[in-house]
Structure 1
Amino acid sequence: MKVLYVEDNDQDADLTRRHLGRLAPHIELMNVADVATASERLKADVLPDLLLCDMNLPDGSGLELLRQVRDQALPMPVVMLTGSGDEATVVAALRGGADDYIVKHGNYLDRLPVLLDLAMGRHRLASARHARPIRVLYAERTHTDVDLLMRHLNRYAPNIRLEAVGSADEVLNRLPPNARAATAPDVLLLDYLLPGMNALELVKVVRQDRGLDLPVIIITGQGDEDSAVQTLKLGATDYLVKHEDMLRRLPVAIESAFFRVELERERGALRESQARFRQMAEGIGDVFFLNDPLRRKLLYVSPAFERIWGLPCEVLYDDWVAWMAPIHPHDQVRMQAAVQAINTDERFEAEYRVVRPDGALRHVLMRSYPVFDEAGLPYRRAGIVQDITERKQQEARIEHLAYHDPLTGLPNRTLLMDRLGLALAHAQRHQGQLAVLFMDLDRFKTINDTLGHLQGDELLKQVSQRLRGVLREDDTVARLGGDEFVVVLPQVEGVADPAHVADKLMAALAATFRIGHQDLYVTCSLGVSMYPRDGTDAETLLKYADTALYKAKDAGRNAYRFFSPEMDARAHQRLRLENDLRGAIARDELRLHYQPKLRVDNGQVSGVEALVRWMHPVEGLIAPDQFIPLAEETGLILDIGEWVLGEACRQLRRWRASGHPDLCMAVNLSPRQLQRPGLDVTVLNALEAGGLPPASLELEITESSVMQEPEQALALLRRLRAIGVRISIDDFGTGYTNFAYLRQLPLQRLKIDRSFIQHLADVDEDGVAPGATQDDVAIVEAIIAMAHKLRLNVLAEGVETEAQHERLSGLGCDEMQGFLHGRPMPADECERWMLDRLKQA
């Protein structure tokens, strides 16, 4: 913007030039010191864009230059400079057509760039509006004056369209209720003396009664200036005195009055818009800002800046880029480069972090865009800053949940596989080794089921903390689920390193865990696989570590084992066995063998025990100790146990119907069956399906299975006993014997474990047991005595010799079972054995 600056004070001129150079470099000042030189510049072919003129000059007044601009209709706005207290001069300047003025006082130089930009903007807008005609309603009682004015305007201001009426009543009849209606004139031009009502009264009606904000110009004769001033007080916009200069000044006065009112309307609308904008900007949580990049100055920022940045808004008004100082150091360089690269006409978007003075971290999203002037040039930049901290935290939580265990915070399988893959790639590049440790807690299920899942979860969290405390920063410990954990050790030198870590992990868990109000002791078992010795991919290493884990458990738990090829072969065999076992019932591969039980006093058969066997189509007959533990572990024991119960009842029905009416059947119950709800209903259904009396069925349980969930087991056994079914303790003496609890169980029989029977015959006449322990005799004798005191029947398992038979008989044992009297046999063979026994009797 080229500005002709007329100022005779060299100090003021220099100060203004330097100030504008700093605040508004787009403004170019051309300074002259007097009216004459300025007048010559206004006659040049190339004119300035704006005239900035001091009111008092050495060779005249700035009003002379204003008059020259308006008389010659030069296309430029005029801004007047004046001293304080010179109101009359200001009024004269505005009446003469000045676009604006500024008083030389205080910080007027700070306001000057904005004022010049606004004046230029209004001028451009006014120039554009000159294409639109200005409609003037002229009230004049003298026809000659009307004719003279019309001819003058047609010649010198054709854009002003005049409509004449002769009285105030006609004026009022022509005015619509709304000044902005399409039929409303743009300007009222009123002669002061009108028939029936003078201009003073008419202005009062227009302003006060009608409430119209139309610009009103009063034309009065010489000597009536005081009356015209009164109309100004009532709301008239301007007045002119009838003399020879009036016709020349009238077009300027009309345009000035019209645009002044238009400007005031626009300012009013702008004020309303600004008020609404401030109300909106201050009511939302986002930061809104508006700045002037050319002047490097902030024009507005909403109060939300203080909430997000933790700084007062004033810091931005003092330094428009102060918002960048608190940006997180890791984002600083990126943001500085991005901001410097912004073109003035481009949109900009960026996310970054802000560190508040209190240390709090906020994530923000900034969007800014250019604001264009009437000429389509960017002159402002506006923007919005959103606080996206909560969104970022939510995204981080979602990402964390996607890769971490929600209970312990450890990496989950997904993140484990990613890290293991990276570790393998690193080991391959550097020809190194790594180890994978697969770990789980020993007997965690018992703890979880006994104390409840909440306590079990707390134990898992404490275990995770201890594991983390043992490992290096580069190591990974992940939770796969339940009580299974995996540790990845990159960059190991050999088997000694993972062995040392395994020892440390086991030692870390050896200390007491405080869970609620209880102290718990927990051990763990670990399996270890090595890269590249055992495998070269993640899945293989995990599988082999899991295989080694089972070997550690088989070794008695609280141990670790390294993987070997033999383990893999056994693991594959075990997997094939599990898959085959799943279809064994459907393929009718399970068989029941029956072992007789005899009374000691008369040698009669008191009953039989049903023992399951698996006739594998390839492996042949598989003994129970090879597949029952697998069935227990996989849960298949539930279906197998139900099949055994049903088949045993069906066979018993056949035997009782074919000559053995008093025969009883014993069936073993697994720990899992005891924990399964509805076992009593299953038993009752099996008895009803076989048409059997409940007393013909005996259910054998182990001490350890009862003690896993004692209260639940006791309630179930009582319900079974209420049905009439007999209950016996199998393998008595090998489990967690609790005699106080034993008294509460609804038992009818104790079965002494075969381990106490094996060496009974080795004891000589003097009570010496050279091949066994004398304690066996004492234990068996004590069990029999205790059982009889509790009114329980006693059965000895594993009787294989006559000497054992005689010894047990002498100790008062009630029944016997073992190879001496009969091995487990298929049903038809067992029936023949019982018939032969009857014949012998």
Structure 2
Amino acid sequence: MESKTATILIVEDDPLIAQDIQNKLRNQGYTNTYIVDNGIDAVNHVARIPPDLILMDIVLPGDMDGIQAAGLIKQQFNIPIIYLTAYSNQDFLDRAQITDPMAYILKPVAERELYAALSIALNKAKNERQRDEISLLNATLISFAEALIVWNVAGKVVKANSSLLRLLGLQESEVMGLDISEVIDLYQLDDPAFNTTSLVYTIQQNGGYQDTENFILNLKNNATLSIRISASQIFDKQKSCYGYVLQIRDDSQRQRYEIALLDSETRFRQLVSHIESIFILSDTRKKQVIYVSPAYEKIYGQQLSLPANDNFPFINYIHFDDQTKVAKLLLALDKKEPCEETFRITKPDGIIRWVHARCYPVIEPQKDEIYRMACIIDDVTLQKASEQKLQQAAKVYDTTTEGIMITDTQFTIVAVNHAFSDITGYSENEIIGQQSRLLQSGLHDRNFYQNLWDFVQTAGYWQGEITHRKKNGDTCPLWVSISTIYEDDKKAVNYIAMFSDISSIKQSQEKLEYLAHHDHLTGFANRLLFNARLEHAIDQAHRNRTMAGVILLDLDRFKDVNDSLGHAAGDDLLKQLAKRFRHCLREEDTLGRLGGDEFIFLVEDVENIERIEYIAQKIQDTFLTPFIIGTSEVVMTASMGISLYPSNGDSVAKLVKYADIAMYKAKQRGKNCFAFYNENFNKDHDRRLQMATQLRLGLEHDEFTLHYQPQLCLKTGTITGMEALIRWQHPDTGMIPPMDFIPLAEETGFIEKLGQWVLLEACKQCKLWHQQGHEGLLVAVNLSAREFMFTDIVSVVKAALVKTGLEPQFLELEITESSLMDQAERVVDTLVNLKALGVKLSIDDFGTGYSSLSYLKGFPIDKLKIDRSFVNDLPHDKQDAAIAKSVIVLAKSLDLTVIAEGVETQAQSDFLLSQGCDEIQGYLFSPAVTADSFEKLLLKQ
């Protein structure tokens, strides 16, 4: 091979150095190069694509450095290696020398040094290969068992091996240098047409010569041999013929063997035709099956036509996963050794069978080579299935978590598995030979065991729960299955017991039973258990002619705790409450939790109302001490409703329902109290439920409308804006005032949808008036506490402005003082985000709450509204006058606009003007009116 076409593998972990070496190689004409960056990949690459030369870095990453990789490669391939190194460390060089490298090149690699090293290494490797090839050829010729003679293109003999010399009875000196025709003519062949000229011509035309029949060779001692002749050309590296080789094989003994074999095969065919195993006999020289027994068709599902051109016809049907097994079998045959293997075959119909093949090579003694192969194949599918079942059974026996114990018919233990020892504590040595009654716990009487064995004798099996005693004396429940093992004559010979420790199952069942009937957080009875106990209490009270009481408790403002401190804090609060509640009731009473912040209590055997009132007050008193949640101190209150059996109802459903109604009545009274149920509550409850439904329908049927109350500038008397106020025109009952439905809407959460509708309608109307020429008009919309705290109010406002096209500076959002101060720290971000939209912010009902001036200073508000309660008695009431003055002064100091609502007299208006109030609204100018009426007011200006 020319050095420029050489394949070179570069093993270098630094990609820049590797690329540099590859570029330099290409500059020198070496285009067939590969790069790997570690020793393991280098070994794998050489195994796939052996290169002509390797440039190997000594220091490589991973578990294999360059020297180790070179050592592995040298063991399998004679490939020249040049080491690349940045060091001249003697330890490295000593280790590297063991691998017989061609050269060392220091990094960075110089192109001239690289080219010189490559040229020397490749030429040296080429010369070594040529010497090896010549030595190999000579060794092959000398050791070849067949008679060989080699002559050159001039016809002169250049080599004859010892086998040929022995066959012809000549010395090497008698043959060397003779013309090949002289050597052949020394012997008389029985074919006159065979001569040297025709032989060489045939070789040149066909690339070789192979006789189709035997020739008779006449030897010097007048003996004859039956021979076969073959010949071929010999080429050099340039594919030019430089000689010929003739092979002469003595075929006499083979012919005698074949005659004897034919006779023995005839007898053999008669024998194997009656056995179920497949017998295959192959001629390995011709690679043909010369005999296959009739069983082949039965096992493989098809006939095999003879002669079949394959030594091993069964190979085509081998299951894919077992092909490696058969490959190993064939390798063993190459070593002339008998071998056997079990593998699967896939029949033409797709059915998979297991077969066991035993192969025996038949050796021709004179030549020591295989010329026949005998294979016996058995279908072992049934045996394999049996083996697998036995293996599976043994594995199950040893690895199952169920204990297994086998006794004889006298109940003597004869075998146990590992799980038996794990469950009982007895080792196999301790328990074998003992009576099974050793495991009895003493918790079952004699009749139990008598009935058990009577059933086994009758039915052959028994299954059930038994409590047994362990070696350490503990008892545990077992689920046991006992079966009888019979002999063929149906006689019982053994009993086998399989059992599982069901302690954890029973504990889990008890735990599940508890969890199914108790609240996981407090441990109180859940709704299911509470209802069952209430049912029982009603029956008992009926029999004893006493009362039973139900107290339903709902925490006030529990959602604020969750929202401000997190749900974990809320759970902690509920646990603390549960601990306090346990001290309020007797052992026979029931504490329950219905979910969320609702608790329910059952008081049994109530003698009088005072008793249950005392318990309710005791529960109320548990809230007097603040709760410590983390680092926070939390003050809580609760509202409770009470219903009594039999005066309020005689069923679980009624008593719980009426306690719930009473609890809502307590909330209406101001919370932090309890109320007993009466029938009027029920009527009010039904009315509220009906109104809640009508609210939803009212919005769907466009029953709501907006009225607008003008807001005037005190100095000029002109309308600067208006407050949008909702009205409900019910089709049956007429106009319903806001005070009758707004609290219910807030309580039910419907205020969120209603508020969104108000906001959208108000913005739409304001934009319409702007388009009609009333530019600069501002609309004020009230936000409820629920809207502000529990909806994404910023997104709602933004959507309304976008949808209606109203500029944000003409929308004013009014938020009550109490809503802001309840969650002052949380609302700041919301106010800032609203202000960022460009809208104006106003505090409604200012002065009625408990504002912190520090918070007020931090709120991004634009306006304060003086509540009507401070305006009603102006200017005569000194306290109201002082409050109004203070609010105006405060607003001015914070650079805020101030407006007063509820102005009905000229005196009130004059007083407010004198104190510097900016705006007013009230009946003095106009009540809230429809959009049409408001438009007329605008036109009058």
**TM above 0.5:** yes
Matched, 1:308 2:423: yes
- Sort the Cα spacing of 1:280 and 1:830 in 2 relative to 1 into closer, same or farther, 3 A: closer
Q: Confirm or deny: 8 A CA contact 1:345 1:370 kept in the other structure.
A: no
Q: Give the 3-state SS of the residue equivalent to 1:386 in structure 2.
A: strand
Match in the other structure for 1:557: 671
Q: What's the CA shift for 1:434?
A: 1.4
TM-score under structure 2 length normalisation: 0.55
Contact 2:456–2:482 (Cα < 8 Å) also in 1? no
Give the residue type in structure 2 aligned to 1:560: F
Higher relative contact order (CA 8 A, sep 6+): 1
Amino acid at match of 1:283: T
In 1, are the aligned partners of 2:764 and 2:806 still within 8 Å (CA)? Answer: no
Paired with 1:742 and 1:354, the residues of 2 have a C-alpha distance of: 76
Question: Distance between the aligned counterparts of 1:359 and 1:796, measured in 2?
Answer: 87
Shift of residue 448 of structure 1? 0.8
Change in Cα spacing, 1:469 to 1:316, as seen in structure 2 (3 Å) is farther
Deviations 1:139-169 (Å, cap 9, x if unpaired)? xxxxxxxxxxxxxxxxxxxxxxxxxxxxxxx
Root mean square deviation of aligned Cα: 3.5
Deviates more, 1:303-312 or 1:462-471: 303-312
**Per-residue deviation, residues 572-619 of structure 1 (Å, max 9, x unmatched):** 000000000011111111121111222222322221101111112222
TM-score (norm 1): 0.61
Residues 431-450 of structure 1, C-alpha deviations (whole Å, 9 max, x = no match) = 43211111111100111111
Q: Does structure 2 retain, via aligned residues, the 8 Å contact 1:308–1:362?
A: no
* Partners of 1:446 and 1:708 within 8 A in 2: no
* Residue in 1 that maps onto 2:907: 803
User: How far is the alpha carbon of 1:480 from its aligned partner?
Assistant: 1.9
Give 3-state SS (helix, strand or coil) of 1:584's partner.
helix
Selected match of 1:386 from 492, 497, 500 = 500
Partner of 1:794: 898
State the partner residue of 2:535. Answer: 421
Alignment of 1:399-798 (within 5 A): 399-675=513-789, 678-710=792-824, 713-763=827-877, 769=878, 774=879, 776-798=880-902
Q: Is the deviation greater in 562-571 or in 305-314?
A: 305-314
1:831 aligned onto 2:911: no
- Is residue 813 from structure 1 mapped to residue 920 from structure 2 by the alignment? no
Instruction: Tell me which residue corresponds to 2:482.
Output: 368
Per-residue CA deviation, residues 471-499 of structure 1 (Å, 9 max, x unaligned), is 33332222222111222223222322322
> Distance in 1 between the 2:581 and 2:447 partners?
39
CA distance 1:677–1:580, shift in 2 (3 Å): closer
AA aligned opposite 1:290: I
Measure the CA separation in 2 of the matches of 1:521 and 1:341: 70
State the Cα distance separating 1:712 from its structure 2 match.
Answer: 5.1
- Mapped to 2, the partners of 1:621 and 1:729 lie a distance apart of 28
| Matching residue of 2:181 | none
Deviates more, 1:658-667 or 1:550-559: 658-667
Residues 290 and 647 from structure 1, CA distance in 2 versus in 1: closer, same or farther, beyond 3 angstroms? Answer: same
Q: Distance in 1 between matches of 2:447 and 2:575?
A: 40
1:320 Cα deviation after fit: 2.9
**Pair 609,388 (structure 1): closer, same or farther in 2 beyond 3 Å:** same
From the superposition, tell whether residues 357 and 529 of structure 1 become closer, same or farther in structure 2 (CA, over 3 Å).
Answer: farther
Judging changes above 3 Å, is the alpha-carbon distance between structure 1 residues 309 and 490 closer, same or farther for their aligned structure 2 residues? farther
Q: Distance in 2 between matches of 1:783 and 1:333?
A: 94
Residue matched to 2:150: none
Is the CA contact 2:525–2:592 (under 8 Å) kept in the aligned structure 1? yes
Deviations 1:716-754 (CA, angstroms, capped at 9, x unpaired): 322332232111011112334122222222211011222
Q: What SS does the corresponding residue of 2:457 show, helix, strand or coil? A: coil
> Does the 8 Å contact 1:528/1:560 carry over to 2?
yes
1:813 deviation in Å? Answer: 1.9
1:345 touches 1:378 (CA, 8 Å); kept in 2? no
Distance of 2:752 and 2:815 partners within structure 1: 15
2:399 is matched by which residue type in structure 1?
Answer: G
Distance across 1 between alignment mates of 2:712 and 2:463: 91
Over 3 Å counting, the alpha-carbon distance change for 1:334 and 1:818 in structure 2 is: farther
CA distance in 2, matches of 1:749, 1:364: 78
Distance in 1 between residues matched to 2:869 and 2:719, nearest whole Å? 23
Q: After superposition, give the CA deviation of every residue in 1:291-341 in whole Å (9 maximum; x if it has no partner).
A: 346x45333344434433456674796563232327xx6x77996675476
Aligned match of 2:88 = none
The residue type equivalent to 2:403 in the other structure is V
Match of 1:821, SS state, is coil
Asked if 1:297 is matched to 2:412, the reply is yes
Deviation at residue 359 of structure 1 after TM alignment: 9.7
Bigger shift: residues 340-349 or 378-387: 340-349
1:364-383 Cα shifts (integer Å, max 9, x gaps): 31111223345423353221
- Aligned partner of 1:562: which letter? F
- For residue 926 of structure 2, the aligned residue among 819, 822, 832 is 822
Which whole-Å CA distance do the structure 2 matches of 1:811 and 1:670 have between them?
30
1:344 alignment partner, one of 457, 470, 473: 457
Deviation at 1:677, TM superposition (A): 5.2
| Distance (whole Å) between structure 2 residues aligned to residue 335 and residue 513 of structure 1 | 58
Q: 1:566 to 1:308 in 2, by over 3 A?
A: same
In the other structure, the counterpart of 1:158 is none
Of 302, 320, 325 in structure 1, the residue corresponding to residue 436 of structure 2 is 320
Mapped partners of 2:883, 2:602: distance in 1: 49
Q: Contact (CA 8 Å) 1:673, 1:679: kept in 2 or not?
A: yes
Inter-CA distance 642–368: structure 2 relative to 1 (3 Å threshold): same
Cα distance in 2 for partners of 1:334, 1:635 equals 67
The equivalent position to 2:491 in structure 1, one of 373, 377, 397, is 377
State the AA in 2 paired with 1:778.
A
Structure 2 vs 1, CA of residues 442 and 312 (structure 1 numbering), >3 Å: closer, same or farther?
farther
Change (3 A) 1:510 1:342: farther
- The separation in 2 between residues aligned to 1:449 and 1:760, in whole angstroms, is 41
AA aligned to 2:565 is L
- For the residue of structure 2 that corresponds to 1:556, the secondary structure is coil
Q: Give the match for residue 229 of structure 1.
A: none
**Partner deviation per Cα, 1:682-707 (whole Å, 9 max, x = no partner):** 32343344443222111111233234
Q: CA deviation at 1:675?
A: 3.4
Q: Is the 8 A contact 1:793 1:814 kept in 2?
A: yes
In structure 2, give the amino acid aligned to 1:793. Answer: T
**2: distance between equivalents of 1:471 and 1:305?**
50
Is there any run of 5+ residues in structure 1 with no aligned partner, and where? 1-172, 183-271, 764-768
- Aligned partner of 1:117 in structure 2 is none
State the secondary structure of the residue aligned to 1:813. coil
* CA–CA separation in structure 1 for the residues paired with 2:676 and 2:535: 21
- Give the Cα–Cα distance (whole angstroms) in 1 for the partners of residues 493 and 938 of structure 2: 112
Q: Is the 8 A contact 1:750 1:794 kept in 2?
A: yes
SS in 2 for 1:479: strand
Deviation of 1:786 (Å): 1.6
Say whether the 8 Å CA contact 2:752–2:791 is kept in structure 1.
no
